[in-house]
Amino acid sequence: MPFLLSGMGGERSWEVYEFDDPVDISGLGGVDVGAVLERGWRGLVGPDDEDWGEQVMRASYGPFSVTFPGMAPAEDTPLSAQQLDAVLGSLPPARIGLAAAGRPADVLARIGWVFAWNWDSGPLEIAAVLRSWEDRLGARLLQVGFAEIRLLAERPPRTLQAAEHVAAEHCAFCDGCAGKFLRDIPGVATELLATPIWTFWWD
């Protein structure tokens, strides 16, 4: 399975210290993606009994509440070939990596990528979330860097309401979204409508 490698400067070596042993993905089918994202959402907005205040909740996480809104529905409308060409053509040159994986979502686990810092889940949970996005939104792993990954969504959300729902999942998944270290629903939703490239960075 091919993917792009970023962060190839002298300070980062892809040969030492960057990876752990490959992960056995045979248990992926037993991972409850909704429960994984719900746990991430609770860590984002705080416990149910915490007094966030209506104004803070509305500004950062509206239209949702402390309760995880659930997983976004699947999208059916793909990007056109011209749109895909334009998106891929806008990317800078990068090296190509190859992994022994049956689908893009499994690559991170299969190459032992371990840099999702500050997220209370392991490689199997990450792979399960990526599989779910592949299935529902056509979002496939595009680029791997140090503590950062990018996906290309071939069926991205097209309306603000749909983008907000997907943004809730992004914020529950990662503490730095859209390549701008965002973790609020309005900001992430705006970026989802602007580009089908999804960037995640863990501090």
pLDDT of residue 123: 86
Would you give per-residue pLDDT tens digits along the chain (203 residues)? 666 666 544 455 455 556 777 888 888 889 999 999 999 998 888 765 455 566 666 678 888 988 899 999 999 999 999 999 999 999 888 888 888 888 999 999 988 887 665 566 788 999 999 999 999 999 999 999 888 899 999 999 999 999 999 999 999 999 889 888 888 999 999 999 999 999 999 87
State which residues form the domain around 100: 2-45+53-153+162-201
DSSP 3-state percent helix, strand, coil across the chain (nearest 5): 40, 15, 45
Distance from the first to the final alpha carbon of the chain: 27
Using CA of residue 117, residue 119, residue 122, residue 123, what is the dihedral sign?
negative
pLDDT of residue 131: 97
CA distance 202 to 101: 23
Q: What is the CA radius of gyration of the chain?
A: 17
pLDDT of residue 8: 43
pLDDT of residue 139: 98
pLDDT of residue 13: 47
pLDDT of residue 60: 85
Total structural domains in the chain? 1
CA distance 34 to 9: 37
Q: Is 169 helix (H, G, I), strand (E, B) or coil?
A: helix
For Cα atoms 31, 35, 38, give the angle at the middle one, nearest 5 degrees: 145
